[in-house]
């Protein structure tokens, strides 16, 4: 079931939450690498 009546704690929601956490960690690492190697931040791009 989708829409407002869907179970927000089901496997799809957990997968979504995991992907958001992964993306957050990934971009933090990219930002850290930019800072150390190019003295830039993602916000500077």
Region 39-43: what's the mean pLDDT? 91
Burial (CB count within 10 angstroms: exposed 0-12, middle 13-18, buried 19+), residue 31: middle
What distances in angstroms separate CA 29 from CA 2, 16, 19, 23, 36, one per listed residue?
A: 34, 20, 15, 10, 11
pLDDT at residue number 2: 59
Q: Can you give the pTM of this predicted structure?
A: 0.66
Q: pLDDT tens-digit profile of 1-18?
A: 455 555 678 889 999 999
pLDDT at residue number 9: 80
pLDDT at residue number 7: 62
What distances in angstroms separate CA 27 from CA 9, 23, 33, 36, one per listed residue?
A: 25, 6, 10, 14
Q: pLDDT tens-digit profile of 19-32?
A: 999 999 999 999 99
């Amino acid at each position: 079931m989708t829409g407002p009546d869907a179970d927000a704690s089901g496997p799809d929601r957990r997968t979504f939450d995991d992907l958001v956490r992964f993306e957050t960690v990934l971009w933090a690492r990219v930002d850290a690498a930019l800072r150390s190697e190019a003295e830039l931040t993602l916000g500077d791009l």
